[in-house]
Amino acid sequence: THTNTQASAFRGLYRTQARTFYFHLTVMQRGWLHSGPLLWLQHVDKKVKLKVGKDEEHRGWLLTVDPVSASVVLVNFREDGASVRVVMGHAVEDVEVLQESDPETAERLRLFLLPPTTSSLDPEELSRRRMGVFRWLEQNRVPVEEDGDSLRVAGALTILAPYRPEDCCSSNQIILDRIQRLIRSQPHLHKVDPGFDSIQILPGYSGSQEL
């Protein structure tokens, strides 16, 4: 029985290593940008090393991949928080898996993807967000007015707190799509959140940003 258990564990390890080698080989042959979503997803929740230039590389836990640009979001946990780096997809030359995540790390990464709830935001922050969206819509010549804690757009759409694209409500799909795209394109003021130890936009040819 002990021998069978060892053999089973060995086969499982061999399959994992074989898959990792196949994914790495595919990325090298096609390039990260053209490897496709199915392969990108195989790297999520894994510690990876990104090669983005002749002498530049970045390491971290791969949180997610943008399905349009193939940009990679890396997270590195620290005692006093975490740092997040965004590497543009076109800059990634190679991706190597360094480590699989354990259940605890996978859960910490999952929590990063949860959107902030209204209850976790104080009234001042909600007001700042509401006015930011209000002014952004006005700048884009969209008729908008305040309606209590919500925003009304052209009498056909309502934006509820905390005023994200997914907080838009309308039966008119055309207006809904347009306003959601506008909110997504809104320039955000970068500020330090309790979960991050730093927020910084880094210059450089690699197209990476550390948040």
* Phi and psi, residue 126, nearest 5°: -65, -40
DSSP 91: G
Residue 166's domain comprises 118-184
Where is mean pLDDT largest: 25-29, 73-77, 192-196?
Answer: 73-77
- Distance (Å, rounded) from C-alpha 96 to C-alpha 24? 6
Q: Look at residue 63 and tell me whether its pLDDT is greater than 50.
A: yes
At residue 206's C-alpha, the angle toward residues 200 and 209, to 5°, is 20
Please check whether residues 88 and 136 belong to one and the same domain: no
The partner residues of 123 in beta bridges, in order of sequence, read none
pTM: 0.50
Task: Choose the final residue of a domain: 78, 99, 114.
Answer: 114
Report the interhelical angle of 123-139 vs 173-184 (nearest 10°): 110
Shared domain check, 34 and 16: yes
Q: Which of 114, 138, 164 is the last residue in one of the domains? A: 114
Mean pLDDT of 25-41: 71
More confident position, 54 or 192: 54
Is the CB of residue 52 less than 8 Å from the CB of residue 58?
yes
Q: Residue 191: pLDDT above 80?
A: no
Tokens of 113: 């993807």
Once rounded to an integer, what is the mean pLDDT over residues 82-99? 88
Q: Report the alpha-carbon distance of residue 78 to residue 202 in Å, rounded.
A: 20
Residue that is last in its domain, among 90, 114, 138 = 114
Is the separation of the CB atoms in 115 and 96 below 8 Å?
no
Do 65 and 127 fall into the same domain?
A: no
Residue 110 inside a domain? The answer is: yes
Residue with the larger pLDDT of the pair 113 and 24: 113
- Whether 6 and 70 share a structural domain: yes
Same domain, 36 and 140: no
Mean pLDDT value across the chain: 76
DSSP character for 200?
B
| Eight-class DSSP state of 90 | G
Label residue 24 by pLDDT band (50, 70, 90). low
Same domain for 6 and 107: yes
List the CATH number of the domain containing 27: 2.30.30.100
Mean per-residue pLDDT, 188-211? 41
Residue 12 lies in a domain: yes
80 & 123 share domain: no
Give which of 74, 95, 101 is closest to 32, Cα–Cα.
95
pLDDT, tens digit (0-9, with 9 covering 90-100), for 154-179: 888 999 888 988 888 887 888 888 99
How far, in Å, CA of 196 to CA of 211, rounded?
A: 8
Q: Is the confidence at residue 125, as pLDDT, over 80?
A: yes
What average pLDDT does this structure show over 130-147?
A: 92
Question: Does the pLDDT at position 193 exceed 50?
Answer: no
- Whether residues 47 and 149 fall in one domain: no
- Give the confidence band of 209 by pLDDT, cuts at 50, 70, 90: low
